[in-house]
């Protein structure tokens, strides 16, 4: 007797939570927080959406399945009821006068903490004693010193 070939077409359930695939995995080598050594996966055949629940012992499987079925059934009935009635949820928020006031810039004096103030004093020294470019260095009173410093800098670059 020969076997008929596989058609490759599986029957799929047309309703949400009509067929659920369940898998219990464990025991895990390292238990999760709370002492959970097993986990259960529920996969809805229609939507292919998966849910994972942690359990401590295998015998909790049936209780978790009942809990899952109750949660999904309630949620499914609630969403279908809301779709039928086309209820729109609206929240009225209390707006305080503080939220409607125009923002203003703070007028308080901002200061660095004392532990950083020594840096401010060092940076407050005038920097204009050094020339900023070659032309200013040439026409400076100490131009011969600046030329000597530039030559020694260039020589150091050539050596390296």
Q: Structural domain of residue 79, as residue ranges?
A: 20-85
- pLDDT confidence of residue 125: 46
Domain boundary among 48, 66, 85: 85
pLDDT at 95 over 70: no
**Residue-level pLDDT at 59:** 92
* 149, 137 Cβ separation under 8 angstroms: no
Asked whether residue 38 is domain-assigned, the answer is: yes
pTM: 0.40
End-of-domain residue from the set 28, 56, 85:
85
Average pLDDT of span 74-96: 58
Q: Say how many domains are in the chain.
A: 2
Comparing CA positions, the residue from 65, 28, 11 lying closest to residue 43 is 65
Q: Does 142 fall in a domain?
A: yes
Report if residue 72 sits inside a domain: yes
Which of 29, 57, 85 is the endpoint of a domain? 85
The chain-wide mean pLDDT, for the chain, equals: 76
* Higher local confidence (pLDDT), 22 or 76: 22
* DSSP per-residue codes, 37-93: -EEEEEEETTT--EEEEEESSGGGHHHHHHHHHHHHHHHHHHHHHHHHHT-------
């Amino acid at each position: 007797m020969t076997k008929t070939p596989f058609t490759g077409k599986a029957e799929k359930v047309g309703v949400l939570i009509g067929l659920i695939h369940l898998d219990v995995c464990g025991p895990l080598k390292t238990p999760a927080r709370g002492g959970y050594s097993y986990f259960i996966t529920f996969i809805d055949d229609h939507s292919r959406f998966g849910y994972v629940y942690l359990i401590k012992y295998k015998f909790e499987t049936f209780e978790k399945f009942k809990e899952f079925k109750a949660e999904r059934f309630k949620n499914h009935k609630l969403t279908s009821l809301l779709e039928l009635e086309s209820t729109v949820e609206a929240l009225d928020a209390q707006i305080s006068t503080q939220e409607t006031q125009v923002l203003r810039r703070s007028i308080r004096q901002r200061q660095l903490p004392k532990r950083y103030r020594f840096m401010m004093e060092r940076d407050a020294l005038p920097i204009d004693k050094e020339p900023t470019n070659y032309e200013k260095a040439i026409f400076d009173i100490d131009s011969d010193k600046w030329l000597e410093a530039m030559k020694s800098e260039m020589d150091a670059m050539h050596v390296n």
